[in-house]
Homo-oligomer: A and B are copies of this chain.
Amino acid sequence: MLIAQIKVLLKESVLDPQGQAVEKALGTLGYNNIEKVRVGKYLEIMLAENNREAANKQVREMCERLLINAVIEDYTFTLVEV
């Protein structure tokens, strides 16, 4: 069994208002060493699959078909054995 841990963020060039809001809120709370905040999605998908190569291919395909909007989002993932 493998778990795919997928991190999704807006591309650098895309405005991230949620990140800006968090950044401002942290500043208001007195944290003045915050340089930048980006807010995105995190998914964990448990796969009944033991072949890492097949899982890699499948996760990439699922991201591109359903999970990610490739126009505005970037993603990275890692596979963890359970």
Contact = CB atoms under 8 A, between A and B. Distances in A.
A53 interface: no
A7 B62 CA distance: 20
A36 to B, nearest CB: 4
- The prevalent SS among residues of A at the interface is strand
Interface in A20-52: 22, 25-26, 29, 31, 33-49
Nearest to A82: B35
Nearest to A42: B42
13 contacts: A9-B44, A26-B62, A31-B62, A33-B47, A33-B48, A33-B49, A34-B46, A35-B48, A38-B44, A39-B43, A40-B43, A41-B42, A42-B42
